[in-house]
Chain A
Amino acid sequence: MSTVRTVTADGTAGVVGFARALRAAGVPAGPDRVAAFLAALGRLDPGRRRDVYWAGRLTLCGGPDDLERYDRVFAAFFDGERPPRRVRPAVRPVRPPAVPRAEPGERTTEEGGEGPTATALASATEVLRHRDVAVLTAAERAQLNQLLAVFALDGEPRRSSRRRPARRGGVDPRRTVRELLRRGGEPAVLLRRAPARKPRRVVLLLDVSGSMAPYADALLRFAHAAAHGSRGRTPTEVFTLGTRLTRVTREMARRDPDAALAAVGAAVPDWSGGTRLGETLRAFLDRWGARGTARGAVVVLLSDGWERGDPALLAAQMRRLARLAHRVVWANPRKARPGYAPLAAGMAAALPSVDAFVEGHSLGALERLAAVVRGADGA
């Protein structure tokens, strides 16, 4: 309790230090939230741990993901022996160094055709491993610009229940009568309205496991371009799948692709790990999909379908997903290889629930994917 006392004595400075520690841990405790926190403390007893805890949790957090981080920082800040200023490095999420997984040899050596060459593969893996995207080569930047210029991932349009003024359609009583009143009650033109068309939500589920490592960087950039290319029109959600599910929509919101990818790199704990598609897909459906994120949406899975878990689980989850989503698109970079057959256990299990099965290995293939998402015939 003594630490709490010193913080109250220190007043605002202590609160601001706490907020800094929270921001370092990824909780969006901005200045206005801090102001609300101070106002809340003014109404409560800042000497009581419980009051300080709840005042902060209610005002500084903005989502369920924040709560666990908040608890951790709160414990470190108010209970730990460390002085507040030194808390910051301690609470920074420490990503365990990615251990190079021993992949089945054939999967890396079989890269050919339009896939990356061995050196490009190595460098891409290196970039992924360390997420040092600040130093981009000119070639990568050119490739990125090309992607950005080409891509606007628009969802398939659907009728929204919001109506807009239109030339033809049902009579719009509100505007008609307003017009009528404007003319002093004389019957005037009938104004009409029609349902607006809105693009469907696009949900990108990105496999970041070891077997997808050669494609992960390009696909992340694709996801970033997709999230920005039609900004404000198509709502886009991005998740990464690996051994666990991570929502990276917030990180992707950064305009600068390098900054966005760096943020994603910091947020995703399971780079180049194994794949448990079934489990992570279930986590997605439980936490997001079934609540509505996937409902009526175009869901795009970017994965090679290598599943380390139980294929039956993946099949069940894919059926769930297919029931929720408007359209399930699976983009598999390995589909382009000559003689490819969906023999990977996961892929074979998932395929019956997939509406469109496309390639995803090159820029051209991604363009094709964008067309499928837009509603073109995908089969």
Chain B
Amino acid sequence: MTWPAHGTPPGWTTPAGPSCGPLPVTSARAGAVGPHGPGAPSSGPATAPAASGIPAAAPAAGAAAGIAGPGQMRARLEETGYLVDDGLAVACYLALTLHRPIFCEGDAGVGKTALAHALAEALGAPLIRLQCYEGIDASQALYDWDFPRQLLHLRAAEAAGVSDPGTLEGELYSRRFLLARPLLRALETSPSVLLVDEVDRADDEFEAFLLELLSEYSVTVPELGTLRAQSPPVVVLTSNRTREVHDALKRRCLYHWFEHPGFERELAIVRRRQPHVAARLASQVTAVVQCLREQDLVRPPGVAETIDWAEALAALGATELDADLAMTTLGSVLKYREDAERARSLDLSEILATRAGGSR
């Protein structure tokens, strides 16, 4: 909704463009600096449609990517090996068409980060990842000036005897000396999928900054001008709920809570991600993990652990799981001593007989 009205709708079906394309700049200081690089696209109108609560009827990105509805979104994601349920399919479809970020919450290892990878693959767009941490700021997330090169350029210009300070200044603060960090790179690359991982680890200052960026999909570099994304990137935010993310940020997003999948679904995911694992082994592993999840554990295993475990067992050459083998490889699934002790007290062979036996 924030790209210029005449802007090209994003072509999701085309393969990824150059990772650092030319920068369409609506220059804040006309004359001093202009669009740089050959074939820079025409800059957007100075008065781009303002972001409002209700997105304008912009050309549907989903339609351009050949995605007509949640059903098709689901099929596309499943082609990449990422199985989604109804809700997540609707969320992804709406994220594409309404240009709202998806805010993913849920236990660790339920596929929040994997969603961004799958979306990027399904849309044929590059994935740009920003890992949040405490103290992250704009110079690490958005852009920074390449000071050493600026200095070098200044020295070279002095040596060559350049006397026009205006030109020199324009050169110094031009796009070639701007280091694009993940957020700017995502705005410059279209189409792209932006993954803001573990946003709860960043602090409030960064959240406020992110909010501004995600509502406008534009960035103002004081020395250079304003960059508006030609087509907003598909944004996936993940949070592990180490703290409550501010409501203002959540309000901008589509909220999706990831549940642990049921047996059938989890088995399908394991089979899809680890095709070389024997069918019987996969179903046994899934059954045991499902059972472990019902136990009262410090950290219930996620789907990621199920996949890891199946892979580990396959690497050991196993085609069938028995209680002894399960105990020796339990470290793939349970990461706490208390949990491992608890699992040892369970009668795994009985679980294997009753649960996995029928789903051969």
Contacts and interface: CB of A to CB of B under 8 A. Distances in A.
B144 to A, nearest CB: 8
Interface residues of B, number: 49
A236 to B, nearest CB: 11
Contacts of A161: 133-135
A340 to B, nearest CB: 33
Contact of A162 (B91, B135, B144, B200): B135
Contacts, number: 119
A55 B139 contact: no
A219 interface: no
B150 interface: yes
B151 A55 contact: no
A43 B254 CA distance: 14
A38 B250 CA distance: 17
Interface string B83-106: 000110011011001101000010
A64 B53 contact: no
The size bracket of the interface on A is 35 or more
A163 to B, nearest CB: 7
A115 to B, nearest CB: 35
Given A61-B255, A62-B255, A161-B134, A40 B151 contact: no
A30 to B, nearest CB: 7
Contacts of A173: 147
Interface stretch (A147-155, A288-296, A329-337, A365-373): A288-296
B251 A51 contact: no
Contacts of B94: 40, 43-44, 55, 58-59
Contacts of A67: 257
B90 A51 contact: yes
B147 A177 contact: yes
B139 A174 contact: yes
A57 B244 CA distance: 19
Nearest to A162: B135
Contact of B135 (A30, A35, A58, A163): A163
B158 interface: yes
B243 A293 contact: yes
B137 interface: yes
A174 B145 CA distance: 9
B299 A290 contact: yes
A38 to B, nearest CB: 7
Interface in B106-122: none
A291 B247 contact: no
B241 interface: yes
Contacts of B241: 288, 291-292
Contacts of B93: 43-44
B216 interface: no
A106 interface: no
Contacts of A35: 53-54
Interface in B333-360: 338
B154 A292 contact: no
B172 A181 contact: yes
Contacts of B154: 181, 184-185
Given A161-B135, A181-B147, A181-B172, A36 B98 contact: yes
Interface string B270-313: 00000000000000000000000000001100000000000000
Interface string A287-312: 01011110100000000000000000
Contacts of A44: 69-70, 90, 93-94
B207 interface: no
A374 B139 CA distance: 33
B29 interface: no
A58 B94 CA distance: 9
Interface string B56-87: 00001000000001100000000000000011
Nearest to B201: A292
Contacts of A38: 54
Given A40-B94, A161-B134, A32 B60 contact: no
Contact of A62 (B54, B144, B150, B251): B251
Interface of A: 28, 30-33, 35-36, 38-40, 43-45, 50-51, 54-55, 57-59, 61-64, 67, 160-163, 173-174, 177-178, 180-181, 184-185, 201, 235, 249, 286, 288, 290-293, 295, 316, 320
Closest 6 CB pairs of A and B: A292-B242, A161-B135, A162-B135, A177-B147, A54-B90, A35-B53
